[in-house]
A and B are shown apart, each in its own frame.
Chain A
Amino acid sequence: MRSLRSALAVQAGLAVLIGVVEIVLCANSSLRPIWLHMLVTATGLIYVAAGTIAWLRRPSNRIGSIIVVGGFCWLIVGLESTVDESLSCLSMIAITTPFAVMIHLLHAFPSGRLRSKLSHRTVVSAYAVALVLQLPNFLFDPRMSPDGVLAICASPVLADFGEWIQRIGGITVMVITIVVMRARLRQATHEQRRVLAPLYLYGTAALLLVPLAPDMFMPLFGLSMVPVTTIQILVFAGLPVVFALAVLRGGFARTSEIQELGLWLGAAERPPLEQALAQTLGDESLRLVYWSNERKRYVDADGLRLDVPRIAAHRAAVEVEMAGRRVGAIVYDPTLNDDPELVRAAGRVVAIAVDHERLTAELRASRRALKISRERIVEAADSERRRIARDLHDGLQAELVALALNAQQIAGQRSAMPDVREAATKLRSGIDATASQLRQLVYAIMPAALIERGLSAAVEDLVDRMPIPTRLQQDRMPRRLPDRVERVAYFVIAEALANAVKHARATKLCVRLTLREDDLIIEVTDDGVGGALAGAGLGLRGIADRVDVVGGRLHVSSPAGDGTTVNVEIPCVLS
């Protein structure tokens, strides 16, 4: 980085030196207004300055270097002002090179590298038009160089023919460039277009201005050669600024910001890794995927399986490795960053962080699997309760009624011995007592009201049976809720009430049920001693588990001496 800085400094110093010489010497020039000379020199310096900044800030991007080359071309053109014979000849030779550099910039944007064969040929042709086809201009026309030193003969026909050929070549290169730009603009994404469109528009305007300005402005606005040339130079002078800004602005490849990634790693509070990478590489669509060793496939940040070929359509991907292990991949837009090495370098910087995120993703995946299995367990337990309650109701309970009836039939037989009748009556009472116990058991397993009428009725029945005065408030409660919600809500309320009775030494309890949007909200309050802790008592832990399994939230407020409020929200989408 340091050597690059000093090299660029030397280069810039050289440019400034040339510029100063030109400006100092232009006073002697007899040609044209003096400020026109200065304008050319200034344009060269603007190119060098813009190019150097872009080069410095985006070392891997070659746009900066191309702009700097353009700057030196302009400075060479400006040598004409030195009145020195050989330097003026150089100027004559290089006079159309700024046009070729402009073509080069338009084709090479954004990375500075030429992407297609067509672009490559067009740029080579542009330089050929500027340097080779320039030859006839001064070889056959002694007027074009001081004392005709560059001329080999004076042949106006050949000179005119040469100029004509150069014009045709220039226009061809120009048209191809405009077509290529149009095509690229069409393929570009919306975001890319925001950067490309103004740039290409400016480029097209500049391209058209070169050959058309003299033929258009001079007759149209009655302008002389000087203002037309001034306009041309000014348009060219704006070009490097526009390109440098586009490169610096981002949206397109950055390199030195990889250092920013390093800073990001060290920062205490950092935005998500994917976002940091996206910003650094100027690609909002960038995605980071993680390699799951366990499943031998790529997953996303949540550990969900991911189809890389699917997300990678029209995308490029670079693997991220750590200590020779694959930990993930960066999937990016190759039109925004056409240098995979740059993306790979970014990946190396963040490899540890990617590995960390990868582990987190795997953890998330296993946590999700655990949650699903817990849900299944609770669901299975609840269905089993329901089944047992039903079986007892339809089977054992009915059986006990029938048995008691049989016993009573024996007790009622007048022909039977008195002691048999007495024993049968006793048997019947015994069966009745057993039936009563069974009723309580069935009630505890799955209350009939919950099966027959749903949550509201079941909680009402529960409240009716509380040994402590208990109020029930219901707001916007429909007759039935989804089975799962009803069961969880019922057992949560039953548990909370049982807790209050057992531990709170309360004199009053209150149950509130509200359906708000997609949540069932349960509030169980008591006026007891407080001091209950979620997760501490077995009862509260049971509530917490049940609530957690259905993705609900539990909040227990229990200040010592000031009662307890158990607040539960259960997601409840009514179909």
Chain B
Amino acid sequence: MRVVIGEDEALLREGLSLVLAQGGFDVVAAAATADQLLDETKAHKPNLVVTDIRMPPDHTDDGLRAALFIRQTMPKTAIVVLSQHLQRRYAIELLSGTSSGVGYLLKQRIADVEHFVQDLQRVCAGGTALDPDVVTLMVARARTDHDALLRLTPRQQQVLALMAEGRSNNSIARHLLISEKAVIQHVSHIYDELGLPVSEDDHRRVLAVVRYLSQ
């Protein structure tokens, strides 16, 4: 897996390179600005781009704009966007395309190397990785609008959140320490309750849930 990194902080750029190398990724380039990130991505055509949002030249959402541009022009490239602060709007913008292979994580997650690498691998495989924080934000907001969410049991709400993060049934089962069969039952109940279209594909499932939460 070839990766291009976009991060303006030298300390984090190195840390990220180290983590990715240890996780079995091949870091082909590390850019310090959004423009440089676009150039490196065009040049190396990596499998994965991991980028910070706030970067030079404008120090606003340059990294995110670059990521969205890469998703549009090179749809096969998986993208993971990192930030110090998560916003629902950014998550929706990242998921708005039709292609899969996208992640939006809090920067602090890098330190939890094992899970971070797992998330990146899932995105590389065409999956989705939404940070639990942004999912919590979405669910909390949706709860004020959708009565259906209030009819879910706490356990089902947990499962729904993990689905939104982009986890597979297997991953959810391991996370909640329950059987995969129990997860499938919860999932089908959630589908019924919220009236979601059934999908076997984890990524499509994320889209459906996120779309539902953002209505």
Query: What is the interface of chain A, defined by CB distance below 8 A to chain B?
Result: 390, 393-394, 397-402, 404-405, 407-409, 412, 428, 431-432, 435-436, 439, 442-443, 447-449, 451-453, 457, 460-461, 464-465, 468-470
Contact = CB atoms under 8 A, between A and B. Distances in A.
Interface in B1-35: 9, 11-12, 15, 18-19
Interface of B: 9, 11-12, 15, 18-19, 53-54, 59-61, 64, 83-85, 87-89, 107-108, 110-114, 137, 141, 144-145
Contacts of A453: 60-61, 89
Task: Give the top 3 A-B pairs by smallest Cβ distance, nearest first.
Answer: A404-B111, A469-B144, A448-B85
Contact of B85 (A399, A401, A443): A443
A405 B137 contact: no
A447 B19 CA distance: 29
Contacts of B54: 393, 448, 451-452
Contacts of B12: 398, 401-402
Contacts of A442: 84-85
A428 B88 contact: no
B137 A469 contact: no
Contacts of B64: 452
Nearest to B137: A464
B19 A452 contact: no
Contacts of A431: 111
Given A394-B9, A436-B108, A464 B141 contact: yes
11 contacts: A393-B54, A397-B84, A398-B11, A398-B107, A401-B110, A402-B12, A405-B19, A432-B111, A448-B87, A453-B60, A457-B87
A460 B87 CA distance: 9
Nearest to A465: B137
Contact of A408 (B59, B87, B112, B137): B112
A435 B88 CA distance: 20
Contacts of B141: 464
Nearest to A443: B85
B9 A398 contact: yes
A448 B84 contact: yes
A410 B203 CA distance: 34
A401 B53 contact: no
B133 to A, nearest CB: 9
A401 B108 contact: yes
Given A398-B12, A442-B85, A448-B85, A428 B60 contact: no
A375 B133 CA distance: 38
Q: Tell which of B12, B85, B107, B114 has the most Cβ of chain A within 10 Å.
A: B85
A401 B144 CA distance: 33
Contacts of B113: 405, 408-409, 412
Contact of B88 (A400, A405, A439, A464): A464
Nearest to B8: A394
A407 B113 CA distance: 11
Contacts of A448: 54, 83-85, 87
Contact of B61 (A409, A452, A464): A452
A452 B53 contact: yes
Contacts of A439: 84-85
Contacts of A452: 53-54, 60-61, 64
A284 to B, nearest CB: 55
Nearest to B82: A401
Nearest to A407: B111
B93 to A, nearest CB: 10
A327 to B, nearest CB: 56
